Chain A
Amino acid sequence: MTHSHTHAAGRRTGTSSRHGGRSAVPVPPQIPARRGPGGRRLLAALLLVGLLASVLPWWLGTPAGSLKSTAATLSAAGRITGLVAGYLLLVQVLMMSRLSVLERWIGGEHLSRWHRDVGATLLVAVLAHLSLILAGYSELRKQSILAEVGTLLGEYEDMVSAFVAAGIMMLIGFSSIRVIRRALPYEMWHLLHRSSYLVLLLGFGHQFTHGAQLYRPGPVRTGWIAMYVLVVAALLWGRVIAPLAFNLRHQLRVADVVAESPDTVSIYLTGERLDRLAMLGGQHFRWRFLTRGCWWQSHPFSVSAAANGRWLRLTVKVVGTHTADLRDLDQGTRVWAQGPSGTFTAAHRVRERALLIAGGSGITPIRAMLEELPPGAALIYRARTPADVLLSRELDWLAQERDTSLWYVIGSRDDPGPRQLMSPDGLRQLVPDVARRDVYLCGPPGLVEQSVRALRRAGVPRRQIHLATFEL
């Protein structure tokens, strides 16, 4: 397929014709205010201060010059890494608490990236803590490392559970290495990650029975326990109370299931007080459809229309058994939703104008966002065949209403047309000011990778590239 065959490759701008006035936007669109990186930076600074504060007791409690022997030095390093590991574990759990403040200020994409980086650091800290303490203690007792392990397990309270916690953490860490993670079934990986709560529980005891800075009652111990209480409270709030309140308030139900294409359906939802649902176009929820066979799975799907106060819609491509079941949802089925989350929104733009690149069913968040972007945006919609193009009528209307240039680029990735277009030169030709635009990307991984490479070479700074990644 050549470029000339691409479907509807024309440039459509809203100024030309406004006949009919049928708009997919029933209410005058509101462009959300920008959310700068201020909140994120503040939280990052707070977390860093917390890290320093958690090592401070060691610093204050250790007299200068007291680390004279090798054993003392090793144990001291072990204690520092232990304190760091204890703190980072709490940070890790906190970041996954789905607290709406974190979601708002940091955003799911950043959170999951932080989670991955802090996770790697945590794993190293735990391993360092373990080996340094073992080395230090065995040096002190003049026995082999193995014998020392035996002594610790046999004679020290809470140490067995601490070792188990370290073991689980190592498993989690290694299972998250990209190569290994791809080879594992998702359910297994997920189950392993769930067991990190166990790590929190099992690792708790030994910090207070043996932690040189923590076993003594006092402000340090109290503060450390308070951190635990805080994190558990955040978990409860973010994962139980807030979703409960949300679902009781809105009581979402399936209103209709509409076929968009042979393998795509739109699910319309209604509920109570939807006008008070604070959601931005491009955000997603985790959905749980409360029918037999579906209730136990929750999946993240973007909402494919901006908030309108009356209904929500998600557009889902049928790829597995779960999504196939969604085609047969009955009207009135209750839906449990968690969210909204995601920073793939107009509010996170850093420039005035945007370029949107969608691939296949990746159009859904972009379709919703289109209603909230300032005029002058450009949308490139990649699809393999014309039948894969979703919501095209809405897109056409929206493009008109919102003064947006819209290109449908149809064909396989290796066809000359799409290939030429998705190159740095092709992008610059199509959107001359691409380097000064925000670029929102959503689609299959191949397309996203290819586009990011092309965009970077076309001179788009990294911070202007927004990816819709669903954290797990």
Chain B
Amino acid sequence: MRRAFLAITGLAASTTALVVLKGSPEATQVAQNLPSGQPVNPAGPGADPSAEPAADPAAAASTPSAAPGAPSSPTPTKTTTARPSGTKTTTKAPSAPRTTTKAPQSTTRRVTGAGFDAKDGSETYGYVQVQIVVSGNRIVDAVALSLPSGGESDIHSGDVRSSYDGSGGEVVRKQNANLNTVSGATATSNAYKQSLRAAIEQAF
């Protein structure tokens, strides 16, 4: 029984330790999570359908602590990402990937956007990160690597996932980040769009 008691104490202690360790932010990782000021919007101006004030909460919430982390914003990573061809120049317009005249490279690559917090005012629901699969100049698949989870968030994240993700999802249909906001999951939708935008930025 003594050993059982020890084991139970160990369980409680290590669970607490793990949570506390993850709770204290590390500088490098925080930088990733935080938005990079105003991200370049490949969907074009006015493309953001979220008219609500809290539409772009993550961007609005560029907290002071963002400053030291700013260098690691998605924009500079552009130069570091290995890319098979010079399709870079053809982007910036939402329809560009489809209308490009350059012969598309038929290689498939996976591009992961920077992660964003799904935020609604002061409430943070979780972390959102999107990965797209690009074949030539087309997005052929999208998957959220991380979505808020726990409680109702599971339901909302499921809704977001089912409408955006996959080869038949809205991302692939629209080929841009100009997605319809999933009702009831505004914050998550917006964070998804931000991460998607970052990924598209990086890919083209």
Q: Which residues of A are in contact with B by a Cβ distance under 8 Å?
A: 55, 58-59, 61-69, 71-73, 75-77, 80-81, 84, 116-121, 124-125, 128, 133, 136-138, 140-141, 148, 155-156, 210, 212
Contact = CB atoms under 8 A, between A and B. Distances in A.
Contacts of A141: 151-152
A65 B24 contact: yes
Contacts of A63: 29, 32-33, 115, 127, 146
B23 A117 contact: no
B18 interface: yes
20 contacts: A59-B22, A63-B33, A63-B127, A66-B117, A66-B124, A67-B22, A67-B23, A69-B124, A72-B124, A73-B23, A75-B151, A118-B4, A119-B4, A120-B1, A120-B7, A121-B4, A124-B8, A128-B15, A141-B152, A148-B151
Contact of A80 (B7, B15, B123): B15
A348 to B, nearest CB: 20
A66 B126 contact: yes
A386 B24 CA distance: 73
Nearest to A138: B151
A76 B11 contact: no
B137 to A, nearest CB: 28
B68 to A, nearest CB: 13
Given A61-B146, A66-B22, A73-B19, A121 B151 contact: no
A80 B33 contact: no
Contacts of B117: 66
Contacts of B52: none
B124 A68 contact: yes
Contacts of B30: 64-65
A209 to B, nearest CB: 9
Contacts, number: 106
A84 B150 contact: no
Interface string B15-28: 11011011111100
7 A-B pairs with least C-beta separation: A65-B25, A137-B151, A120-B4, A140-B151, A75-B150, A117-B4, A121-B7
Given A65-B23, A66-B126, A67-B22, 19 more contacts: A59-B18, A61-B146, A63-B32, A64-B22, A64-B24, A64-B29, A65-B22, A65-B24, A65-B25, A67-B19, A68-B23, A72-B150, A75-B151, A84-B15, A116-B1, A118-B7, A121-B11, A137-B152, A141-B152
Interface string B108-133: 00000001010000011011000000
B87 interface: no
Given A75-B150, A120-B4, A124-B8, A155 B22 contact: no
Contacts of A81: 11, 15
B77 interface: no
A68 B29 CA distance: 14
A431 B154 CA distance: 69
Given A63-B32, A125-B11, A140-B153, A72 B26 contact: no
Given A75-B151, A141-B152, A64 B4 contact: no
B67 interface: no
Nearest to A52: B14
Nearest to A61: B146
A156 B149 CA distance: 13
Contacts of A137: 150-152
Contacts of B60: none
